[in-house]
Amino acid sequence: MLRGKTVALCVTGGIAAYKAADLTSKLRGAGADVRVLMTESATQFISPITFETLSGNRAVVDTFDRDFAWEVEHISLAKAADVFVIAPATANIIAKAAHGIADDMVSTTLLATRAPVVVAPAMNTGMYDNPVTQQNLETLRERGFHIVEPASGRLACGDEGRGKLADTAALLCGIEAALTAQDLAGLNVLVTAGPTREALDPVRFLSNHSTGKMGYAIAARAAMRGARVTLVSGPTALETPKGICRVDVVSACEMRDAVVSRAEQQDIIIKAAAVGDYRPAETASEKLKKRADDMAVSLVRNPDILQELGRKKRVGQLLCGFAMETQNLLANAEEKLRNKNCDMLVANSLREPGAGFAHDTNAATLLFADGRRETAPLMRKDELADLILSRLLALLRSGR
């Protein structure tokens, strides 16, 4: 999302100004062209040279600086930027932005731009909670500004409370969201991800190699595109994507209950989890001990969540399943698509290099209920996630 984008990073005069250096570094590392604008107050906390070194561009401070190639700089920056980011955003710059005041390089350029604007407040708790500041922030929200809420904790002044600049990961997420079309806004999307575990005893369980990366990528991209996302996750080591409601489960039965109880409210359900087909008929209450002879474990079928969802699917709701195979991929996937009453099914092979469990990439074939197929070559899982979501959105818009 950031590669090739021009980011105008506005640094204002708060103690958190030093954190903008890390943001500059991360933005450039992601392939963005970073143009830093600073208020005079910001230069009291951190030198423009720091940002020039990290960004590879001159940091702009003085509106009337004559040491540059001829152009009306605040206008040229306003036109060049794909996104404006104010981090840290003091109460002062928030008030200026809300009321159209343009008396320095940052506020003047901000007033001239038509690019999306991300505002990351950072200030004393009392200043942040002040009704005037809150009203100014609400004004900016109403005008379409993207607000990255501050974190809570111990502030530089010694107070405890809200007002800490959001961490770099949250800022990057906010910037990507501002650059992303909100084409899923207003939709409820439920995604399942990860493995399930079926207990043999208090120590051991039956499971599979799923890491949850594909499902988490879908959930993250859906939220980035404006959807209200519920992520029902089996045990994984992954962090919860920003802006998502995560429901943790362990067994297939737990996943079934979590999904089915929420299914009616969803516009799109994407079943990317690797759900165990079987569970032990009995779970030992104590750890099973080694025996001289062979051990036999009786298994029973787990509920077929996808099939139940397909049977209960309401009009206008879309259901997307996943099929991972080691042989006869398309034949098995086509049968699953029909039997489970899916609108779309994502089929991938464990034999494909770079695809399947644990990889950051995936390759798949998308199968549709009307018989169409689309091949998705090896790509990053977040890219495949966007492709899946775009195809489902097209189906939703067509009324199919």
Helix (H, G, I), strand (E, B) or coil at 24: helix
List every span in the chain annotated with CATH 3.40.50.1950: 6-179
Helix (H, G, I), strand (E, B) or coil at 46: coil
Measure the CA–CA gap between 166 and 152, rounded to whole angstroms: 9
Give the pair of three-digit tokens for residue 268: 């799109």
**Is 185:170 a contact under the CB 8 Å cutoff?**
no
Residue 380 bridge partners (DSSP): 361
Tell me the pTM: 0.85
**Is 46:19 a contact under the CB 8 Å cutoff?**
no
Torsion, Cα of 231, 233, 236, 241 (10° steps): 10
Closest residue by Cα to residue 40 from 120, 109, 104: 104
List every span in the chain annotated with CATH 3.40.50.10300: 188-398
Determine the pLDDT at residue 163: 87
Domain boundaries 6-179, corresponding CATH code = 3.40.50.1950
Measured in whole angstroms, the distance separating CA 203 from the mean position of its chain's CA atoms is: 34
Q: Which residues participate in catalysis according to the annotation?
A: 157
**Is 195:273 a contact under the CB 8 Å cutoff?**
yes
Determine the pLDDT at residue 76: 80
Helix (H, G, I), strand (E, B) or coil at 4: coil
**Is 382:221 a contact under the CB 8 Å cutoff?**
yes
Q: How many CB atoms lie within 10 A of CB 55?
A: 21
Q: Which CATH architecture has domain 188-398?
A: 3-Layer(aba) Sandwich (3.40)
Determine the pLDDT at residue 400: 64
Determine the pLDDT at residue 342: 98
Determine the pLDDT at residue 71: 47
Determine the pLDDT at residue 73: 53
Measure the CA–CA gap between 45 and 12, rounded to whole angstroms: 9
Instruction: Indicate the residue type of 149.
Output: E
Determine the pLDDT at residue 388: 98
Determine the pLDDT at residue 291: 75
Half-sphere exposure of 179 (CA within 13 A, CB side): 20
Render each residue's pLDDT in the chain as its tens digit; 400 residues. 789 999 999 999 999 999 999 999 999 999 999 999 999 999 999 999 999 999 999 998 875 554 544 444 557 888 889 999 999 999 999 999 999 999 888 999 999 999 999 999 999 999 999 999 999 999 999 999 999 999 988 877 777 888 899 999 999 999 999 999 999 999 999 999 999 999 999 999 999 999 999 999 999 999 999 999 999 999 999 999 988 999 999 999 999 999 999 999 999 999 999 999 999 999 999 998 887 677 888 999 999 999 999 999 999 999 999 999 999 999 999 999 999 999 999 999 988 898 888 899 999 999 999 999 999 999 999 999 999 999 999 999 998 6
Instruction: Indicate the residue type of 360.
Output: D
Determine the pLDDT at residue 55: 95
